[in-house]
């Protein structure tokens, strides 16, 4: 997992880097809060570890900015702090941090907090995936209901339109000028009928962007074969 961590103390930063490397994470170190924020903006990561007291931007400032970032809602923020008063820890959590660890920290303490963070991140990813599946299931159900409604409401009048057009075109006394609009009616009605048939054969609906920029159902290849 990619981890962004920031500490202006070289010894603390080296210790944290050693622990992160030991558990197999990909490191993105920063020497102060300003650098940490710049790195996050350029490439958001799932886990950020911030020292509380840093130059340029302190840990709380960076945490607040991460939470305001579009990708920041999915980022786990762990704050390392030497302050353990209740009001200080409340301030850390109020800034949007998910967890904190007291300083100085042993490698074992850091590994424990990292394991907790990894589990929380995995749980959140699973939750988001489940929510996406539910949303897609609802969307598919809506597509199915819409298709049934369209077939019910359109097929009968459409069949009547095509039938009348065919009957009128059978009249040999019609001039070319009279036949042309009837042929266009038959052509467009047949096209609508084809669209309705494709809707009824949708197997795995997906949306695509139209020329106007709006999203629409792709009917080009996303249908079951004719029986």
pLDDT tens-digit profile of 6-58? 999 999 899 999 999 998 999 999 999 999 999 999 999 999 999 999 999 99
Q: What does the pLDDT read at residue 139?
A: 65
- Tokens 């302190």 found at: 58
Q: What does the pLDDT read at residue 31?
A: 94
Position with higher pLDDT, 168 vs 146:
168
Angle between helices 10-22 and 107-169 (to 10 degrees): 60
Please confirm whether the linkage preceding 104 is cis (ω < 30° from 0).
yes
| Structural domains of the chain, ranges and CATH numbers in brackets | 2-105 (3.40.50.2300), 134-217 (1.10.287)
For residue 222, the 8-state DSSP code is: -
Q: Report yes or no on whether pTM surpasses 0.75.
A: no
């Amino acid at each position: 997992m990619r981890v962004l961590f920031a500490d202006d103390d070289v010894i603390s930063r080296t210790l944290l880097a050693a622990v992160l490397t030991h558990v197999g994470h990909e490191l993105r170190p920063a020497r102060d809060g300003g650098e940490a924020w710049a790195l996050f903006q350029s490439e958001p990561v799932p886990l950020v570890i911030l020292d509380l007291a840093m130059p340029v931007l302190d840990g709380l400032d960076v945490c607040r900015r991460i939470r305001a970032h579009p990708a920041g809602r999915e980022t786990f923020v762990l704050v390392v702090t030497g302050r353990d008063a209740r009001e200080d820890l409340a301030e850390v959590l109020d800034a949007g941090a998910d967890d904190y660890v007291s300083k100085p920290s042993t490698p074992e303490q850091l590994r424990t907090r990292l394991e907790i963070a990894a589990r929380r991140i995995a749980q959140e990813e699973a939750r988001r995936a489940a929510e996406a599946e539910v949303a897609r299931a609802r969307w598919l159900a809506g597509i199915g209901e819409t298709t049934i409604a369209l077939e019910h409401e359109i097929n009968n009048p459409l069949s009547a339109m095509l039938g009348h057009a065919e009957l009128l075109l059978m009249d040999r006394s019609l001039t070319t000028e009279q036949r042309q609009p009837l042929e266009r009616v038959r052509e467009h009605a047949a096209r609508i009928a084809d669209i309705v048939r494709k809707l009824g054969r949708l197997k795995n609906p997906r949306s695509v962007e139209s020329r106007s920029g709006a999203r629409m159902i792709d009917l080009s290849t996303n249908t079951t074969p004719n029986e």
